[in-house]
Structure formats: C-alpha cells, structure tokens
Amino acid sequence: MGYITSSAVTIPSTGFDYFVFFLNDEYTDNLRRDFEENFWNLAKDVGKKTLVVNGFDRIQFSEQVFEIYQIKTRSVPAILITDTPPAIVEKFPLNKSNIKMVYIPLETIYKSQGSIVKVFKYIAESLRHSDAFELINSRNPVEIEKRWGWLRYFSIKPNICGFGVDMNQFFEENLLKY
C-alpha cells in the first residue's frame, strides 16, 4: 500500500507489519527519476501488510526519518525498511536493538536506467515472507554490489555472423541473483 505524507509522525501506526520509506533529495537524474516513477509499483507489489511511504516534501520528510530512526549515513536516494512506525519511535524512544531496520542507499547499486526495478522486485518479494528481514539481510543488494560491482566495467558480448550471446545478462541473472 502506498502513502504520501507531509510528516513522518502522521503515518499510521497499526495495521502494517513493515514500513518502507523513500528517502530522497531535490535533485533530478535518471536514478531519482526511476526511484520516484516506481513508487506506486513497489507499493502495489509489497501487499496489504506493508506501507510504502514517500514524503510530499522529499527533503523535509527524509530528514525527519533520519532523525527519528537515528540514521547517521544519509546517502540518498535510499530505502529504509523497518517493522516499527515513526510515531512509536517518536513517542517511546526505544533501544535501537529492538527495531528491525535495513537501510539501502541506492546510488551504489544503480547501474543504468531501469536497474532499480530489480531491487524493488526483490524488496517486494522479500516483504511478502514472514522472515523478510532475514531474507533482505542475507542478500542485501549493497553487499552484492560491493562484491560484484567491478563487473559493470566489462562488456562481454561475443558475436558471430550477427548472432551473439549477452554474457552480461547471463552473469546478472545467474551469478548475481539477490
């Protein structure tokens, strides 16, 4: 389910198992365009028990979420996934170890226009399972990028008489699954 708000603390506190926050800034480039354009697709794909939230004022909303959840790394665009709504954290400051959170800065894993869709599909698929945080943490796209990111510098496209195999696609689909 998708939700656009002007304040993080007004987000509903009940009825959802997970909360996905779109954290962004005022700049526009291909990554940020893809990020914003796929908000409603992710909101639809996650199901009824997950609330995907975007701020009406992107900068103000992102700053509120960073403050509420005490996130030190403020690289945007990013996605924050948690099981605790902001109003609960704001009202009853909890020990951070009691809150399940995954912060995914997207700039490091964005390869080309449309590549963000794979990350969103993975997140949506993971959040439909009861062990969502274990799935996301075990195959966090940021960690995969750290290990395999060097592949983006190579282009392997053998071609014989006009027919070829896109080895990059093969690697992406078979070796770099997350």
C-beta of residue 13 within 8 angstroms of C-beta of residue 87 = yes
pTM of structure? 0.75
Q: What is the pLDDT of residues 61-91, one digit of tens each?
A: 999 999 999 898 888 999 999 999 998 887 7
Residue 161: inside a domain = no
- Tell me, what CATH number does 30's domain have? 3.40.30.10
Placement of tokens 């948690």 in the chain: 82
CA-based nearest residue to 90, from 73, 69, 66: 69
Could you give the 3-state DSSP secondary structure of residue 14?
Answer: coil
Spatial separation of the C-alpha atoms in residues 4 and 146, rounded to whole Å: 32
- For position 63, what pLDDT does the model report? 95
The set of residues, in sequence order, having a beta carbon less than 8 Å from that of 177 and lying 6+ positions away, is 139
- d(C-alpha 120, C-alpha 50), whole Å: 13
Number of domains making up the chain: 1
19 within a domain of the structure (yes/no)? yes
Distance of CA 125 to the CA centre of its chain: 12
Domain that holds residue 23: 2-132
Question: Which stretch of 49-58, 84-93, 115-124, 151-160 has the lowest confidence by average pLDDT?
Answer: 151-160
Q: Is residue 175 part of a domain?
A: no
What is the secondary structure of 126-171 as a DSSP string?
HHTSTTHHHHHHHT-HHHHHHHHGGGGG-----EETTEE--HHHHI
The pLDDT tens digits for 85-139 are 998 887 776 566 678 889 999 888 878 887 888 889 988 988 987 778 777 776 6
Q: Which residues contact 6 (CB under 8 A, 6 or more apart)?
A: 55, 56, 57, 60, 61
Give the largest Cα separation in the chain, rounded.
Answer: 67
Asked if the structure places residue 71 within a domain, the reply is yes
- In a domain, residue 162? The reply is no
47: left (phi over 0), alpha (psi -120 to 50) or beta: left
Domain assignment present for residue 81? The answer is yes
Residue 87 included in any domain: yes
Residue 118 included in any domain: yes
